[in-house]
Amino acid sequence: MTTVRRTPVQVLLVEDSPGDVRLTREAFREANESVCLHVASDGVEAMAFLRQEGVHADAVRPDFILLDLNLPRMDGREVLALIKEDEDLRTIPTVILTTSEADADILRSYELNANAYLKKPVTLEAFENLVKSINDFWLTKVMLPQRRQRDD
């Protein structure tokens, strides 16, 4: 075993729709029991979590971020921009997961250095498959940089 992975994997889901949050949680439960899913319901809370501010002072640094674009208070594009401007946060793989399939959104996201852009599938089966794929790829196969929290 050359690849040592931390367990559980810390994932931050930035999503305002409780239905989608639950659906994502259910999908991850099926895909990988060991994923620890944190949720921020808007952009402001997401940044507070990432910067360990206020009630999130003790928040863990996520290994992976799933970011919706259309959010209250501060939208996903701003959050993405702030993450990728941040020396410390920019190395966290950030994947857009949204219902928008507008070309403008796709282009803007990659310009802001999103790591991938995924569209929310309309059927449960497709959604479960997508989450499975995310787990298989980003949370399993992809080598992530080792940072301040080492388990050894």
Nearest to 87 by CA among 57, 44, 51: 51
Q: Which of residues 28-87 bind another protein (CB under 8 A)?
A: none
Using the rule CB under 8 A, which residue among 34, 99, 146, 149 binds another protein? 99
Residue 55 C-beta: closest distance to another protein, Å: 28
Binder of another protein out of 2, 3, 4, 19 (CB under 8 A): 19
Positive/negative CA dihedral, 98, 132, 138, 39:
positive
Would you say 7 or 99 has its CB closer to another protein? 99
Choose which of 33, 123, 148, 152 interacts with another protein (CB under 8 A): 123
Among 41, 76, 120, 139, binds another protein (CB under 8 A): 120
Whole-number minimum distance, CB 31 to another protein, in Å?
15
Closer residue to another protein, CB minimum distance, 82 or 130: 130
C-alpha–C-alpha distance, residues 140 and 84, integer Å? 23
Q: Figure out which of the listed residues 21, 23, 118, 144 binds another protein, where binding follows CB under 8 A.
A: 23
- Asked if residue 122 binds another protein (CB under 8 A), the reply is yes
Query: Per rule CB under 8 A, is residue 26 in the interface with another protein?
Result: yes
Contacting residues toward another protein, per CB under 8 A? 17, 19-20, 23, 26, 99, 120, 122-125, 127
